[in-house]
Amino acid sequence: MPSNNLDDLFRQHLGGHATPPGADLQRRLAELAEAERLDSLFRTGLGGHASQPRRAVWERLEDEHLHPAPRRRRVVAWWQLSAAAVLLLSLLAGGLLWQSGREARPGSGLATNQPAGTKAGNAPLPAMQAATSAAATPANDFATTNTTEKEDVARTSPSTAEKLNKSFASQATARVASPSSTPIATTTRAGRAATATRAANSHRLPRRALDAAPGQLASHGGRKSPVGQPMPATTTVAPATTPAPSPALVAATMTNPSEVVEVEVRRGPAPAPPTVVVASAAATEPIASPRRRLRLGGLLRQADHLVHGEPVSLTEATGLAQTVTVQARLGGRTLSRTIQL
Amino acid sequence: MTEPDLIAACLRGEPRAQRQLYNQFAGLMLTVCRRYLKRPEDAEEALLLGFAKVFRALPTYRQEGSFEGWIRRIMVNQALMELRRREPLHLSFEDFAQPENLATTPATADTQLQAEELLALLQTLPTGYRTVFNLYALEGYSHPEIAEALGITEGTSKSQLSKARALLQRKLQGAAVTG
């Protein structure tokens, strides 16, 4: 057979013939096409997608990696801002405390001849301060025994004292007892002629002469005592260790059909009643301006403490005096004492 | 500002240029990080550290090829580093299922899926599957490169890719049915 005929034979039989691929090859090709579709789906779907990062990411990148130096400056600025804010708040709180302290004074209704906030031993008081000079002693020196007056009572009216002692022993009731109050005065006892009053705790307080204000207050039992009647009772007061925020701490009243003894202990100075003697009011006036100066100094001192990281005392910053006023009323007599703590 | 100008300004340390470069690429690169890391805070951490490397390595950029590609490669490396810390890979490269047991039904109704849905689908994959699929299908790495980057063999890379595709197809089919 000529070669041309052989070539024509194969060309004629195989030229238009199509061989179908095998099943295995078909499966592999389908998988490849499917994989490509899947990859393309994710590639196109996620290729241009942008997620918005939080702002904090850029701030951290800037502070921690790009510009670390401004971060230190920012910390310093933050510390200074914090210190300024604390100082401002302290001043505000001090002003409020000072304002509330001033507003609270006229309403308490207790007579005192000791100016509020008098520094211990610092302010010489004219006129009737001679009788109350012992008020400048610290609280732990506060006298609870009035021996002189007890002796007077023993001399003048021993029978009255005994009678009061019997009747008052179990009748002490708290007249004003706020829930937040810490009792300072624990008992009020009628004095005996031959016995000394015991201090409420180990702080033995020196004897002092309480001023008498005869006729200033009426007896609580509805019967007025004779003016100028000697005080038949003594007052035993424990020193204040944790004063309560309430101004009036304890007021103990002993009632008796014939005699009334009231002992009131309150925090802060006792404002002068309308009937207070002129000398007492005059004594408070010169003290006011030095206290303002002290308050300003205290503010500056506390600001310095704040800067140096030391504890800050608002009481010291505002200059508010921690005082306790003890007032005893017996019949027509009123004995009051303000103690600077 | 053109890209070379932007790069030059960043090299001079200009904050505005740095911010502009970040704003230009942060969104895209966060998506890259989210493809590898499940937790958003981990992805943002990778983004943060990745950009820190970008700015640090900017003087070494020769301006050959795509700048975005250069940044993307840094981000992928950072995401892989973060992944090693957060989700150890060796646990995820074990076989969770045999390829022959997985459905190979063609995904048909998947073209309508949005990018967030695709991201969610990716994040359902085991870490090994997800990582190899990301590197091969989306980043264009070869199996030898994946093996080197992840410290695995080429065969493991191919196997993980095959399983990942099969699992994705099955999930896509499920999503199409429920959708």
Tally of CB atoms within 10 A around B63: 9
Best residue in B28, B35, B133, B135 for a mutation probing chain A (most A CBs within 10 Å)? B28
Successive 10-residue mean pLDDT values, chain A, 341 residues: 78 80 83 88 89 92 82 63 89 88 58 42 41 40 42 45 44 41 42 40 41 40 41 41 44 52 70 46 43 63 74 61 72 74 58
Residue B92 near residue B128 (C-beta atoms within 8 A): yes
- Residue B1 pLDDT level (bands cut at 50, 70, 90): confident
Q: Residue A95 domain-assigned?
A: yes
Find the residue in A nearest to B173 (Cα).
Answer: A38
- Please check the confidence at residue B115 and state whether its pLDDT lies above 70: yes
Q: Residue A51 domain-assigned?
A: no
Structure tokens at A94: 């001090």
Mean pLDDT value across chain B? 85
Q: Residue A304 domain-assigned?
A: yes
Q: Considering only CA atoms, give the Rg of chain B.
A: 18
From residue B123, alpha-carbon distances to B31, B38, B62 in Å are: 12, 6, 35
Minimal Cα–Cα distance from B6 to chain A, Å?
Answer: 16
In this complex, do B138 and A45 lie within 8 Å of one another by their Cβ atoms? no
Q: Residue A121 domain-assigned?
A: yes
Residue A39 near residue B169 (C-beta atoms within 8 A): no
Would you call A51 an interface residue with chain B, using a CB distance cutoff of 8 Å? yes
Would you call A16 an interface residue with chain B, using a CB distance cutoff of 8 Å? no
List, for residues B53-71, the tens digit of each pLDDT value.
999 999 999 888 899 999 9
The pLDDT value recorded for residue A238 is 41
Please provide residue A322's backbone torsions phi and psi, each rounded to the nearest 5 degrees: -90, 100
The pLDDT value recorded for residue B15 is 93
Q: What is the distance between the alpha carbons of residues B124 and B161, in angstroms, rounded to a whole number?
A: 15
Tally of CB atoms within 10 A around B44: 21
Q: Residue A151 domain-assigned?
A: yes
In this complex, do B48 and A41 lie within 8 Å of one another by their Cβ atoms? no
In this complex, do A46 and B138 lie within 8 Å of one another by their Cβ atoms? yes
Partners of residue A39 in chain B, C-beta under 8 Å: 136-138, 165
Would you call A52 an interface residue with chain B, using a CB distance cutoff of 8 Å? yes
The pLDDT value recorded for residue A148 is 43
The pLDDT value recorded for residue A105 is 61
Q: What is the distance between the alpha carbons of residues B96 and B93, in angstroms, rounded to a whole number?
A: 8
Q: What is the distance between the alpha carbons of residues A138 and A119, in angstroms, rounded to a whole number?
A: 10
The pLDDT value recorded for residue A228 is 41
Residue A246 near residue A267 (C-beta atoms within 8 A): yes
The total domain count for chain A is 1
| Three-state SS sequence of chain B | CCHHHHHHHHHCCCHHHHHHHHHHHHHHHHHHHHHHCCCHHHHHHHHHHHHHHHHHHHHHCCCCCCHHHHHHHHHHHHHHHHHHHHCCHHHHCCCCCCHHHCCCCCCCCCCCCCHHHHHHHHHHCCHHHHHHHHHHHHCCCCHHHHHHHHCCCHHHHHHHHHHHHHHHHHHHHHHHHHC
| Bridge partners, residue A252, by sequence | A174, A263
The pLDDT value recorded for residue A13 is 80
Partners of residue A49 in chain B, C-beta under 8 Å: 28, 31, 115-116, 119
Domain that holds residue A134: 90-340
Structure tokens at A228: 């100028």
- Please check the confidence at residue B74 and state whether its pLDDT lies above 90: yes
The pLDDT value recorded for residue A259 is 61
In chain B, the domains with their CATH numbers are 3-86 (1.10.1740.10), 89-178 (1.10.10.10)
Would you call B107 an interface residue with chain A, using a CB distance cutoff of 8 Å? yes
Residue A331 near residue A225 (C-beta atoms within 8 A): yes
Q: Residue A317 domain-assigned?
A: yes
